[in-house]
Structure 1
Amino acid sequence: MAAGPASLQFELSVHTWDDCPDELRQLRHDVFVDEQKVPPDLEWDETDAVAEHFLVRNASGAAIAAARLFADGEDGRIGRMAVSHKYRGSGAGLWLLRKLMSHGCSAYRHFVLSAQAYAIPFYQRAGFLVCSEPYQDAGIPHRSMRCTAAMLVLNQPAETEVPLHLEQDTTSWQLQSHADWNGAIDALASQARQRFWLYEPKLDGSRYNREFLRDALSMLARRSRYSEVRFIVAEDKSLVEHHHRLTDLIRRLPSHVQLRVLNAELPEPSSSFALADAAGVAYRHEAPLPRGFANFNAPGRVRSLEDEFQRLWSSGKRSPELRSMLL
């Protein structure tokens, strides 16, 4: 039991499709079929049988909100978010969304969903980022959205309507785990429009040899002739030995994706950091450890770290390991 806005009390239950209460099915029918005119054969699909179904009741036991969650590759896909008409604006929908994300955090890499256009600000408040152009689904305008750092948003209250949004969110997010770091890096990389710079002594697999990050940086590198993806590392041998995904980017897009190795004659910085465009930064105080911070609108901090990165880049050298691989 948890309190919602205006002293409302919400209660959550989780079901398989076989044991779904009739009220959950009726709520979806009321919202999607009756209200939004979605054809019944589109509303009820085979995914219901494999999804987890979430139902919110009010203090009187009435069903007021519902949603479903199922695996989509490594991600958790949220769908069929329905809130009873008279409870819209009560906080029940956001309460359900956050509970659903908390429930699935340990099982999924990111959360993804298809948002009706009018509902985009609602999902943005929970840390979701728009990641597609508009499209039609059942005759209704939609856009795809993704949350890469659910635990950050769930665990750290932030006074912003747009958490994790580049050039908008001024929150200083405290990073406590490698999952926090990965989520912040993914949010920065997927929103960058011109530049992503990373200094990391070692591009270890759990943090950087990931398909989503490679694809996000590939999209950035192809965006324009001015795009820059740059890595500075202290150790490059493992990149080739372990067939790192980022080496494939360097091989295919050498004009836009580049890597240099630290000058061994200079002191190695103890920190690690990433910069996205002119506003986004993720920073770890001691490179092997996960603790640090991320800020998506900190141009002053970015400028100071730009100077540090440029110094390391100018004194660095091309990777002999990668050069031999590319020949």
Structure 2
Amino acid sequence: MKDTPSPQVASLEHAPADHPKLPKPRIGVILSNLGTPDATDYWSMRRYLNEFLSDRRVIDYSPFFWQPLLQLVILTKRPFSSGEAYRGIWNNEADESPLLTTTREQAKAVGERMEARFGGEVIVDFAMRYGNPSTKSVIEKLRDQGCERIVFFPLYPQYSATTTATANDEAFRALMKLKWQPAIRTVPSYHDHPLYIAALAASVEQAYAGLEQRPDVLVTSYHGMPLRYLTEGDPYHCQCQKTTRLLRERLGFSGEEVVTTFQSRFGNEEWLQPYTVEEVARLAEAGKRRIAIMAPAFSSDCVETLEEINEEIKESFVEAGGEEFTYIPCLNAVPDHIDMIMAILERELAGWVK
């Protein structure tokens, strides 16, 4: 049976000679990550934090209460402390955050795999929910390159309204402003994907192989969120617990050798517990002198891992009597992580490519 040409190709076959030229129809892939400030100065940090903390998916308090507090109190002080944290991890050579560097590397690696498999039929790019490159600009860029169909891939293993949902929201908002919308598919969470669990396990095994003494405990630290979100139906907590369980089973560790914690608490209300910064201190006080820690909710190393874990959380462990603190990096652009991304994309591209 002969393939049916796309409507765009079919219409151009009989178009008049003066018809505007249109690009060859293609399929786009967007890897979406959280975001990054453009620089570490006060105003760059303020713009970034304002966009992030004004997102109703992230902070769902009434704007009548929240915005005055945010604009008049939080954003007058926090850009200084956040800027200092980013300066400590900044990629000075490229003059950008590590998250931006790594996400670009991931998109490049996936793009090369797609080129080898599908030729120029699939174009891969990346976007940020907050900051640049914006989701809107990348969708428009791919549309202008002829992408009539787009797979939108939020790089969050565990689903949360504060991450996956708001990334998808931003993509749909961009589509709302286009006269000619490309078709779009969004990628669901992959917290229990076998290749994801295998890649996490491989990173642990590699880290342990390089140590003289085996850590007493492996801490899997996930980004936190208010406990209230769980009771309101967000599946994030359950998916985090399942990721840890599958990882522990894959590694063959006992229940006492792996703990699940939550970091990056913000505000005064109760968040998911145990809090990482407190749990590592408790472990040290209980005689666990050597721990390893990883952040399975992050697809790329960023300020929460490179600064918060490696400084604040490490300090809490050492001050409580801990002796050896090993941070296991995120999966970043290692080959088995790219293998996993490719496997998921091939599933989501079904019916769109041969």
TM-score after normalising by structure 1: 0.24
Which has the larger share of strand?
Answer: 1
Higher relative contact order (CA 8 A, sep 6+): 2
Query: Which has more helix, going by share of residues?
Result: 2
Q: What's the TM-score, normalizing by structure 2?
A: 0.23
